[in-house]
Amino acid sequence: MSNRELKRELGIPSAVLMGLGSIIGTGVFVSIGTAVEISGWGVVLAIALSAFVAICNGLNSAQLASSHPVSGGTYEYGYKYLNSWWGFSAGWLFLLAKSASAATAALGFAGYFTNITGIDPQWQIVLAFAVVVGFTAIAALGITRSNLANTIIVSTTLLILLFFTISGSSLVFHSAFWQSASNAISQFNTLSILQATALMFVAYTGYGRIATMGEEVINPRRTIPRAMVISLGLSMTIYILVSLVGVAGGIRAGSAPLSQVAEQFPLPYSSQILAIGAITAMLGVLLNLILGLSRVLLAMARRRDMPAFLAQINRSGTSPVSAVLTVGLGIAILTLLGNVKTTWSFSAFNVLIYYGITNLSALRLPQSDRLYSKWLSWAGLFACFFLAFWVEWHIWLVGLGLIALGLAWHGVAQSVRKKSH
């Protein structure tokens, strides 16, 4: 084992697929149903608003990653352009947010799997726990094998989502759909739309995986911005199309919301086909989150913000095995909560604060490293901190408490390092 750098193996196609594999999953197969429950027809507007925030954050993440292409994402940017407290906060928030997202993906997988197989739903938590263990083992093998698995998963998911939007197009073109849309628009509730926007924003944040794995990207200044823009553009288009079909089909929150809609399609086995796509999507998100989380944990261990053994890399330089195993254990424990809405809302709060720090870091970029105007950073900064407090109040209270706990840990770690020197 050693602490040397990871190999650069990801080009634009691989980085785009890594981004899509992280984005297209819980967002489309789980959170759209939750957002519809909160805002009804307003989910379409929430998707558009959250896409704008995601684009601002994505472009700022891209220019930061291009100028500072290392593992760790905003954790490293906070250290470089702000200070250790902001940097640690970003890393801590990422671990909290994305561990919750990964647990949501595992629980979402279990929900669709029991739906398609007829297994008793009481086994969902056991299935979620088991799949986390299995995919942690895959991630520990290194980026090449993980990237191959991701390519297969993402390709399957995109094909099935294409099937869903084409098969459900008859629902969208029905006159009753547009009549209900007209009625709903006049009854939009701003508060519910803002809450749905906060939840839907998390559905886009997989693009950050490209930045957190910057140490493994070939020609990062060119690859990272292009891969992020392509990933965000494709995912936004998919979300809008799927949400239109979902709303037209009367989508509602549950363990398999899109499968419920697909049951109305004229083609036989539509619901089962859609469930297969959901299963592959959840697995793709879970795999990519384990990869991204382990790289942030690796970066934090290198700075001794986390125990030093987590900075160890295998002999071939392809995987931070200790960090991967630790991340997998944390996600597996979170699946025991068994509640998709709770884990998703918790992720939303933490990830919005995390990207607020991303935008704050982007404001400090020197002009020579800047790719985009500062207004993007200001827009992203305001939107993230504003939306963060539109999740349920008890969720953000817990989030603030955990941030305080993390900062206390950082203070103790700094004190120990100073004494050792």
Residue 184: the pLDDT is: 58
Q: Is residue 4 part of a domain?
A: no
- What CATH number does the domain containing 238 carry? 1.20.1740.10
Which residues are 2's β-sheet partners? 313
**How confident is the model over 213-246, as pLDDT tens digits?**
666 777 777 787 788 888 888 888 888 888 888 8
Neighbours of 400 (CB within 10 A): 14
Q: For the chain, report the end-to-end CA distance as a whole number of angstroms.
A: 25
Residue 361: the pLDDT is: 93
- Position 175 pLDDT exceeds 60: no
Q: Is residue 102 part of a domain?
A: yes
Judge whether 134 and 283 are in contact, CB under 8 Å: no
Q: Is residue 21 part of a domain?
A: yes
Q: Is residue 162 part of a domain?
A: yes
- Position 1 pLDDT exceeds 80: no
Residue 180: the pLDDT is: 61
Residue 315: the pLDDT is: 73
| Number of domains the chain is built from | 1
Residue 369: the pLDDT is: 83
User: Structural domain of residue 52, as residue ranges?
Assistant: 12-415
Q: How far apart are CA 179 and CA 182, in angstroms?
A: 5
Q: How far apart are CA 118 and CA 121, in angstroms?
A: 8
Q: Is residue 2 part of a domain?
A: no
Q: Residue 267 gets which letter from DSSP?
A: S
Average pLDDT, the chain: 82
Q: Is residue 5 part of a domain?
A: no
The pair phi, psi for residue 253, each rounded to 5°, is: -65, 150
- What would the mean pLDDT of 102-131 be, rounded to a whole number? 89
Residue 5: the pLDDT is: 62
SS3 per-residue string spanning 51-71? HHHHHHHHHHHHHHHHHCCCE
Q: What does pTM read for this prediction?
A: 0.77
Instruction: Give the C-alpha distances (Å, rounded to integers) separating 223 from 215, 226, 307.
Output: 12, 6, 32
Sorted by sequence, the CB contacts under 8 Å of residue 284 that are 6+ apart come out as: 21, 22, 24, 25, 150, 153, 154, 157
3-class state of residue 275 by DSSP? helix
